[in-house]
Amino acid sequence: MRFGVVVFPGTWSDCDFHYVISEVIRQPVKYVWHRDRNLADLDCVVLPGGFSYGDYLRAGAVAGRSPVVEALPEFLARGGLVLGSCNGFQILCEAGLLPGALMRNECLQYRCQSTNLLVENTETPFTRALRPGQVLTMPISHGEGKYHADPEALRTLRQRNQVVFRYATLEGKVTRAANPNGSVDNIAGIVNAEGTVLGLMPHPERAAESAMGGTDGLQIFHSLLGSLVEDGTFLKR
């Protein structure tokens, strides 16, 4: 699977993603500059975490209108997959590729900590290797990760099974105490209606080797690799 890791001014997780893809799962990967619209030779585009454009105006607002992001609908239409983590999730929401928005953490603090994620939907190319009800441990690192969607959008998300990860206890209980940022319904990650775009606030690339303290994030990468079938297309939902 050919990966492209997008780099905006202010991105900080680009090298981490590049390292995990090239050295841990050993797949071809290249950096994609934010002004680049050519995604023709890629299967999966990664929007990493960081502070693109200094988070000016709103987190992800300026990056959400950048040339590379404007090229994503066409990339998706021809069968590509998009993974956005942290600032990448904010960018995908700002660009309208995922519903809802991310706002200031309810606690007003920047939260850099480990979180437990209840897996709700395993019928996506990003979660195919997981079991529903499984709990993954991954770090978060953000000040603006409170997911918000109006009641109607939330209903649609639930009906279409678009909620993929929810903050929970290690035992998989969705509690208020397990919610680090005040996200509605403890939502930590969602997919688009087609299941081809995943946005999540946690950092799978920071839980990909035992030296990092955990390898649960690797399961997202393994799911992606397992979704690649012989004719070069992806198993969708």
Partner 1 sequence: MKVRVLVRLKPGILDVQGAAVQRALAGLGFGDVRGMRVGKLVEVDVDATDGAQARARVEEMCRRLLTNTILEDYTIEVEPTERLAPPGAVR
Catalytic sites, residue numbers: 86, 203, 205
Neighbours of 132 (CB within 10 A): 11
DSSP helix, strand, coil percent of the chain (3-state; round to 5): 25, 25, 45
Least Å from the CB of residue 52 to partner 1:
14
Q: Give the residue with the Cβ less far from partner 1, 96 or 213.
A: 96
Nearest CA among 86, 115, 82, 113 for reference residue 102: 86
Dist CA 147 CA 101 (whole Å): 6
Query: Hey, what are 31's tokens?
Result: 């950096």
Q: How far is the CB of 221 from partner 1 (least distance, A)?
A: 30
53 or 221: whose CB is closer to partner 1?
53
- Per DSSP bridges, beta strands 44-47 and 3-7 are parallel
Q: Which residues bind partner 1 (CB under 8 A)?
A: 57-58, 61-62, 65, 93-94, 100-101, 103-108, 148-150, 182
Closer to partner 1 at the Cβ: 14 or 94?
94
For the bound state, the minimum distance from the C-beta of residue 225 to partner 1, rounded and expressed in Å, comes to 34
